Chains A and B, each alone.
Chain A
């Protein structure tokens, strides 16, 4: 082995040693963050998994049941209905704000007098606290004393039962979500619209494209990444919707608006059935994870 090669090897070894020493010195700086992650994320998850293997009611006995809570879950009709309601609610609470938010963004992207004021007014609902919003809507939905039925009566439309009927409760709750979160979608898409290049539109104009064609073939494809981001945020938000539903209906009438979150809350904090509730959490988390992965995959595809 030549002297140069020996020197090079010796240098590489020194570098490796330095790197190890460096890592050894600074690894302690990572410990607090690692501890926080273990304490607040990994341990709760491991504990939830562990608890899900027990038949356990707070204040009662604890009995190891293995996967029994999971098998019970898949035969529990109430869980199945709650899952279906969650999917229905999520689908509506995502699609409508996306359509309306896109339309609003297109409007607010135009120049017109008092546009700033109109934009500010439009995003006001988003700033309200969900529980306060829910309480106000509850009063407005009252079948006899609520302002909504009074307004309907003024234009000759028969009163609605809003959240006081199993048939209309889910669409009515979606209405609250749409009112509350359409401004967020509008803001996200408006940001996208502001960043669109002008060249394609000029070219399209020269080629004689109509405004509708320009929207369909230029605006929409260019906005797709922003729409997907809004879709992901809305989907996650709608899936975990709890406060609004709980305050307005508590899952009622009957179980007509009992989504997974309400079902989970009842099992854990009303029935103190923590073993079964933990199994619900695990299954629901798996579903959200799968959905998030699907959305992220879609986002990657849109970027390409």
Chain B
């Protein structure tokens, strides 16, 4: 056996810095670590999805990873990803999950990987990723009951009050701060022969539940299930909220509202036929588009009015996750860091495409001052963020819940008694919820 000679020792000493450098290189974060790989991304058709498509080349040039971005309309996307997850071999490596609809379902089945481990891995996470920049509420919204974080929060969708400044000013009315004020203002503005209405809102089954929950959030009860995860949609507060819903849709909205989803509401408001509309923040962009909207530049923004006991606006949102079955978790994690990085979140805010999950975009005065949206819009976003509360219960059969309760609410527009309808709907849905809770 050849012993250690002076020459080998010298060579080893000389080579040591190179070895150390190589080890360091393997340990340091590198955006191009997975260059040459290809990943598939599945997101919903929305201004946010469009932003990802628009800037996809930036990600590909940054990382050398090819990303195929599939954009599918919201409802179909939700169905598609659930069926793909259930198949055990989803076709995508990054998927958008509507937290207000599918969070519990995805979490219970453990379809997505826990991204906390990825965040903690310094070799995979960019030094400037800045996880604390994500709003505390959004981080909690994306976290499952067992503490797993299986999506990275992407955006929030608050319900806000849109109002037509001209119609309100014509009657010398200021934006309402309570539901009673709002109803009285709507009735004062109403001019049925000219087809001008004080209010427009969702009446179509399923879509309408989130408008009813806007009223419920203002009561002492606030939620639709209690701490024991039992259904409480037939209580006095729930019935009060249904009566509010009924009077707004039946007495202060255009005829035919019983079949209105958000698109009919948007059209009515855009044409200057309705003075007030409570709905998601994402409609600001089309309303301010002068090519499509007659009220562009005349739209006022305010937080939803306060209820008798509380002041909340309904919160919805989505996160992006990586399927447990994906074989490209590393490249997918890089995609998440880019897609939900500070730059992309700032673009989301500037384009009015949604409310970023990160806090830093709101501090960028330059972008805000150059935005086509008024300052009032950004002020409303900030204020809504402080009072936001989940607008739908975090339960597995949430779509069925919306269907059953939504049908009851629709019936009230036709004149049915809210108490009778809600009691019947609650009795019908309670066994479905109990069964799903037993399975959980």
Contact = CB atoms under 8 A, between A and B. Distances in A.
Contacts of B204: 250, 252-253
Contact of B400 (A166, A250, A253, A271): A271
B254 A144 contact: yes
B371 interface: no
A144 B268 contact: yes
Interface string A241-267: 000000001111111000000000010
Interface string B244-268: 0000000000111111110010011
B94 to A, nearest CB: 19
A179 interface: no
Nearest to A265: B79
Contacts, number: 93
Given A59-B82, A145-B271, A266-B403, A164 B205 contact: no
A77 B291 CA distance: 47
Contact of B86 (A59, A164, A251, A253): A59
B98 to A, nearest CB: 13
Q: Count chain B CB atoms within 10 A of each CB in A251, A255, A266, A272 and give the residue with the most.
A: A272
A290 to B, nearest CB: 30
Interface residues of A, number: 29
Interface string B418-438: 000000000000000000100
Interface stretch (B138-146, B163-171, B173-181, B407-415): B407-415
A204 B257 CA distance: 58
A130 B267 CA distance: 22
B256 A252 contact: no
A166 B82 contact: no
A163 B256 CA distance: 8
Given A60-B396, A254-B411, A271-B397, A143 B255 contact: yes
A254 B405 CA distance: 10
Given A59-B86, A253-B205, A253-B410, A144 B256 contact: yes
A212 interface: no
A60 B439 contact: yes
Nearest to B254: A144
A73 interface: no
Nearest to B85: A59
B91 interface: no
A297 interface: no
Contacts of B50: none
A157 interface: no
A255 B205 contact: yes
B439 A61 contact: yes
Given A143-B256, A144-B268, A161-B256, A59 B109 contact: yes
B282 interface: no
Nearest to A266: B403
B85 A269 contact: no
A252 B410 contact: yes
B103 to A, nearest CB: 12
Contacts of B410: 252-254
5 residue pairs, one from A and one from B, having the closest CB atoms: A164-B256, A143-B256, A164-B259, A253-B258, A254-B410
9 contacts: A57-B397, A57-B436, A144-B268, A144-B273, A145-B267, A166-B414, A269-B83, A270-B400, A270-B403
